[in-house]
Each structure stands twice: as structure tokens, then as C-alpha cells.
Copies of this chain bind each other. A is one copy, B any other.
């Protein structure tokens, strides 16, 4: 397998240890545990917790730090963390101000975070939950689970994180997180599957000259397969779907993430960003901020996703507030 790993069973814990050793001023880790917290925990403020299966690095632990998350939980690769682990994390970072769980909309995550929230409430913790479902690939489908949570989750971490840092209470932080979720749409395209270490080969093979549209981030195929388009055509397709979903119009203000899925070079992400930005500018949509890079990956997938959030003054203020994490620093 073309991977720099040791034993497959040790991947997650070794990745956590490396992350914390490399970022000792930002992160803290209890030996052998599968969650990380900020180095300095402030239980006077609302605590934000996110997480899910591993394989999406730098999400979610890369977004733990001042102005974003207080803790991130690591499941095994593409596998939800269990309720006990989630509860242990809650007990580590949530104080009297309560805690908000930011959960991506997958059956396992939603169930396990809900069970953990109930267990925590029984212990006297004040816990609220928001479910991120920004992936418009499944919009209008008959899927019983509904839209999936993908890259737009990073906007929720950032905005809710700034709100909590500013001293807002749990209900207020939950409300701004939900407002963010309601205004986010994301969509992606991939040119390859990804190699889950336990399998050792790609979950699916895309023939040369074809692409998967509406990618998933867990090694599954996308919504449908079609003839590979150029970068500009691909970017146009995705940004137009997003504009339609958010009903964007001239004069609106947005922020944009151009996200790599793990093995897409920055060269290509910037070419994709170019067309997305030109498209929005041509529609007289103002772009407050653009982030280009690998933020929520599917291990080593060749693919990209765009995520757009429609901003009001409050969302914009929190989006642009200071942040110091491993994967996002801004002043």
C-alpha cells in the first residue's frame, strides 16, 4: 500500500499523537484517548465539540483552538465515534456555560452524539446539538437520511466558535450555528476514489475521461458519473448548483471555500477558485472571504468541493473574527 503508516490499527492514535506533539501550544491530549482539546480549557464559555470518523484531516482536530472548537473526537476511519467516547469528551470540556455538539448528518454520528447528549444531560450537563447538512447533492432526493454534512461544517465551526468566544450563551450560540447551517450549500466532484488503509485499494475506480459528480467523503461513489469536464466547466457546474440552492442574487455577500479532498494539488484548486470567483463576481455577488486548501478530505481522493455561505452582518462578523488553530489562523 502506498501509504506512510505503521500498523493499521494504530493509525488514528498515532495521528493524534503526532498532531499534538507538533502543536503543543494549541492542543492537549490525554494519553491513549481518542479526543483532543484546547491546551487551555475555559469552562466559563460555551464549549464547542465536533468530530466523527477519521480520514477527513485536518477536520476536525485541526480546527480546535481559540475562536473555533474546544474539542474534537476521532472515530476510526470513516466510522462514527461511540457514545462513551463522546461523553468522555463532554466531561472534559463542558462547564456551567454548557456545550454545543456540531454533528455532520450521517446516521451513525447523529445517533451516537444523541445518545451521548442524553447521557450527559442525565449527569447534569447542559447540552445542545446542531446537525450540519450542507451537501446539496442529495437535495430533493428521497434519501431518508436527508442531505449529508460535508465541507460547509468548517463555516459552522468558525462562526459558532467566534460567537462562543465572544461570550454568547448556549442558546445564542446554537441559534447562530443553525442560522449558518441554513445558509450554507456545498457540492463536489471527484476523479478518483480513496484508499481506506484497511482495504488497501480504492473503494471504486473511475475510468479515465470520467468523473463522479456529487462526491461523498467516505469513499463511496458520487451521485452520478459523467464525462470528465474541464476545470472551468466543472467549477461552473458546481458553483451554479450552489447559487441556485441558496437563491443567490446580485448584491448578496458570501464566503467561499474551495476544498481539496486530499490529493488534489493547490495548482488545480487555484484554477478552480478562479472560475468560481469570476462566476460570482459576474453575478455581482460580493465575496467577503475565500479559503483555498485541504480542509475536509477523504484521505487521498482526487477531488474538490465548493462550499458557500450567504452572509448577513452577524455571520460576517463571526466569520472574520480572530482564530488560532492548527489548520486555520487568522487575525
- What residues of chain A have their CB less than 8 Å away from a CB belonging to chain B? 1-6, 11, 14-19, 21-23, 54-55, 57-58, 62, 191-192, 206, 208, 230-232, 234, 258, 262-275, 277-278, 290-292, 294, 297, 299-300, 302, 304, 324, 326, 329-331
Contacts and interface: CB of A to CB of B under 8 A. Distances in A.
A290 B305 CA distance: 29
A4 to B, nearest CB: 4
Nearest to A191: B2
Nearest to A277: B21
Q: Assembly of this chain: how many copies?
A: 2
Contacts of A23: 290
A331 to B, nearest CB: 6
Contact of A267 (B11, B258, B272, B278): B11
Contacts of A6: 230-232, 271
B57 A266 contact: yes
Given A4-B271, A62-B266, A21 B290 contact: yes
Given A231-B4, A271-B5, A272-B4, A262 B265 contact: yes
A266 B191 contact: no
Contact of A299 (B234, B265, B271, B331): B265
A264 to B, nearest CB: 7
Given A4-B234, A18-B277, A262-B266, 11 more contacts: A2-B191, A2-B302, A4-B271, A14-B231, A18-B269, A18-B275, A263-B302, A265-B299, A267-B299, A329-B329, A331-B331
Nearest to A297: B265
Contact of A18 (B230, B271, B299): B271
Contacts of A258: 22
Nearest to A19: B270
Contacts of A267: 11, 15, 54-55, 57, 299
Ranked nearest first, the 9 interchain pairs of A and B with the lowest CB-CB distance are A18-B274, A18-B270, A57-B266, A263-B263, A22-B290, A329-B329, A2-B191, A4-B268, A4-B231
Contacts of A4: 191, 231, 234, 264, 268-269, 271-272, 304
Contacts of A230: 5-6
A266 B258 CA distance: 17
Nearest to A256: B22
A327 to B, nearest CB: 8
B263 A300 contact: yes
A208 to B, nearest CB: 7
A156 B191 CA distance: 36
12 contacts: A1-B208, A5-B268, A6-B230, A6-B271, A14-B271, A21-B273, A21-B277, A58-B266, A262-B266, A263-B300, A263-B302, A329-B329
Contact of A22 (B19, B22, B273, B297): B273
Contacts of A268: 3-5
Contacts of A3: 191, 231, 268
